[in-house]
């Protein structure tokens, strides 16, 4: 009888224990120019990306995030903005890009580009789960024909959230920077402090 109780407890622990895929898994397919994000083993997001074009490859392999930067500017490529950067291998990062018309085709110098809103969402997920619980898997290869001309991505709807799924409170909202025009005031001329009177 005691054996049955121990066996039943062991089986129950197997089902109750957290999944082996707990955390965030980011899969980047260079041949399809797509990113799939899995949270705790469940697919959560699928987005178009731009990886390295011909001559500027994105490294393949399995990586962990090394550092996060909400605001970053490329020191190597013309001080280009890289919002919501997740650095995963040397200087390579997953980050937002304002050249959204090039998403879906290889266009970068090796980084993985995302729409800024998607980059903010991914950044929030990695921040919430931690860099230790996040894995980045980069696979596939770009075709030479794709490298010369990026394919325009088709607009796809976001997955509908189930009514039984809790609302996501960590999703940051991207707001583009607002640049105000400088205000120029007309110069004001004051009369001199003294006057000369002629009689």
Q: Could you read off the pLDDT of 2-39 as tens digits, one per residue?
A: 555 445 544 444 444 444 457 899 999 999 999 999 99
In a domain, 181, yes or no: no
Q: Taking Cα atoms as reference points, which of 116, 95, 5, 117 lies closest to residue 51?
A: 95
Q: CA-based diameter of the chain, in Å?
A: 129
Query: Contacts by 71-74 with C-beta closer than 8 Å and gap 24+?
Result: none
Residue bearing the bigger pLDDT, 181 or 21: 181
How many domains in the chain?
Answer: 1
118's enclosing H/E stretch is helix 116-129
In a domain, 82, yes or no: yes
In a domain, 127, yes or no: yes
Taking residues 151-160, what's their average pLDDT? Answer: 58
Contact 23, 129 (CB under 8 A): yes
Contact 32, 48 (CB under 8 A): no
Residue range(s) defining the domain that contains residue 99: 47-146
pLDDT for 59 equals: 86
CA-to-CA distance for 69 and 25, rounded, in angstroms? 19
In a domain, 108, yes or no: yes
The CATH number covering residue 137 comes to: 2.40.440.10
- Model confidence at 76, pLDDT cuts 50, 70, 90, reads confident
In a domain, 170, yes or no: no
Taking residues 127-145, what's their average pLDDT? Answer: 83
In a domain, 51, yes or no: yes
In a domain, 142, yes or no: yes
In a domain, 182, yes or no: no
Average pLDDT along the chain: 76
- Model confidence at 158, pLDDT cuts 50, 70, 90, reads low
Using CA atoms, how far residue 104 sits from 115, 154, 155, in Å, is 11, 9, 11
Q: If you count DSSP H runs as helices and E runs as strands, how many of each does the chain have, helices first?
A: 3, 9
């Amino acid at each position: 009888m005691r054996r049955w109780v121990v066996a039943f407890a062991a089986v129950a622990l197997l089902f109750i224990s957290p999944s082996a895929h707990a955390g965030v898994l980011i899969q980047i397919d260079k041949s399809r120019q797509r990113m799939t994000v899995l949270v705790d083993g469940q697919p959560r997001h699928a987005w178009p990306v731009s990886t390295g074009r011909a001559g500027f490859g994105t490294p393949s392999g399995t990586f962990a995030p090394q550092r996060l930067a909400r605001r970053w500017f490329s020191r190597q490529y013309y001080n280009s903005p890289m919002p919501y950067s997740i650095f995963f291998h040397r200087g390579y990062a997953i980050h937002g890009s304002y050249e959204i018309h090039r998403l879906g085709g290889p266009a970068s110098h090796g980084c993985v580009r995302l729409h800024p809103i998607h980059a903010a969402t991914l950044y929030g997920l990695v921040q919430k789960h931690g860099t230790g619980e996040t894995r980045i898997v980069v696979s596939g290869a770009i075709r030479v024909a794709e490298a010369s001309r990026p394919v325009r991505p088709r607009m796809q709807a976001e997955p509908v959230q189930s009514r039984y799924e809790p609302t996501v409170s960590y999703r940051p909202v991207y707001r583009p920077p607002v640049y105000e025009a400088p205000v120029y005031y007309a110069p004001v001329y004051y009369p001199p402090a003294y006057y000369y009177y002629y009689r």
